Structure 1
Amino acid sequence: MKKVSFAEFGGPDVLQLVDAEEPHAGPGHIRIAVRAAGVNPVDWRIREGQVLGAHPIELPSGVGLDAAGVVDEVGEGVVGVEVGDRVFGEGSSTYAETAVLSAWTLMPAGLSFEEAAGYPSVMETALRVLREVGVRPGQTLLVSGASGGVGSAVLQIARDRGITVIGTAGAANQEYLRSLGAVATTYGEGWVERVRRLGDVDTALDLAGSGIIRELVELTGSPEKVVSIADPGAPEFGARFSGAAGSMAAALAETVDLISRGRLHIPVEKSYSLAEAAAAHVDSRAGHTRGRRVLII
């Protein structure tokens, strides 16, 4: 089979499309014929060697955590899924024609493989940071960098829970944020005053890592009300940096519930082939994404 692999840490040029042996599903796992794989910032951070504490790997290593596809092998002890089922979830080395998943769920009717592959990690992250920041129905949440995959999920979950969201993004994504129920404003010079004019802020999420933790603390009035997924320096200001993943199974169950109720849709901004994985990483690292990026197999 074909898979994307890297033998040394570095830039996107270390990614290679190679021939590899097919993996097999061990106890408690399933194997899928991958139809699409999600591209996440953690993928290129792993490739660069940034997050070895949370994601220890041995080189050479495959790439990718999220995927959607068709079950073709079921491990010992697995129930509730059969060969031929359409599923999406989390595993390892998912930038490949075949991959093993450790957490999964059946795909809701009407959901494409391309869309499904974009949900697992962003939904787990979105649900986790909303829980960690402690925002409650009726309160106002500020989301910095709101138009990407995690931001798109946060905005829609918050809307479903009765939470008001002020979202910052580039000028081109203002209407997109409004379509997801947010009060939108641009980042850049003067953004703090623009947010203040929109109303009081109870809690804040930093999804972009643009060096604004101090300002978010000022806007909320307390570092305990600020959580970042993109700025490891957040604790220097008393804020929380969220890096440890929670329950993927629970996140997938809530994902299916929201999609089935018509309360969640994260668009796929761009699709790539396996051979274009390096380009996908370059685009992901550049940011300014509206929704998700995925590889199509």
Structure 2
Amino acid sequence: MTEYRWLTYDTVDDGRIAVVTLNRPRQRNAQHRGLLVELDEAFTAAQYDDAVRVVILRGAGTAFSSGHDLGSRDAVVEREPGPDQHPSFQGNGATRDGIERMWLQEWHYFVQNTRRWRDLRKVTIASVQGPVYAAGLMLMWACDLIVADTTAEFADVVGARLGMCGVEYFAHPWEFGRRRAKDLLLTGDSLTVQEAYRLGMVSRVFEAGELEDKTLHYARRIAGLPSATSLMIKESVNQAQDHAGFHNSLQTSFNLHELNHSQYAVLTRGESVLYGPELGGKPWNEHGPVVPTSKTEVKLSS
């Protein structure tokens, strides 16, 4: 069995339910390449195992995932040439020049990975708590069902803080609705778990401290269905969404995302692919707290 460094993989109920736990709590489960590659391996293992009927994806600690890892020591070391460089930085476009390098790397590890997880041949449940920001949304949205506790909040801050047009797996209009997606992307405001439930993005809301147990109860109920029935329900809904344009819209939005990076590369003469101090903006880690969205007020974010 695969030995994981950045996550844990367990099965319960005689192997019928697999539990994948992101295990970088000190970094609020921020996603660096090592974590993403292991997550793909874990999902593949669950898919291969015919005993598994449902896969739960959760995060250790107080946050499901705070998004891409933009600066931890682990993330820096794995990118740099040397004995600790992650193998994924030696292929899949990593040795190409210009924007082609980022375009191919992000396609493989942010978009194609996520689409593959969305189409996994098992029912998947994201069990989330705390801040679910930016790329944290991508992992969550790849799952068939989302359950959350009352501490969960959801935001894509990359427009307001990095000058980007949303994360790479651009499911926002499908998850939030068109106008709410524009509002949340342009402001970077967060959505409460109760509003996420009203939108239909979240299926169940549990009290803090009950998330793990109640997610397992939920998974057991679904695991009780015939596996073919579960898969056909999943496939029927996913194909309906794809026929409505979901797959093509993801690809188009991803290409715009890469054009957005190219804009900053041109403006900074290759110094940055994000909006930051080089262009008069703040460093990404010097912004104030994320502001909750409000029906009646416009709150300023720093």
- Normalising by structure 1, report the TM-score: 0.31
Q: Greater strand share, 1 or 2?
A: 1
Q: Whose RCO is larger (CA < 8 A, sep 6+)?
A: 1
- Normalising by structure 2, report the TM-score: 0.30
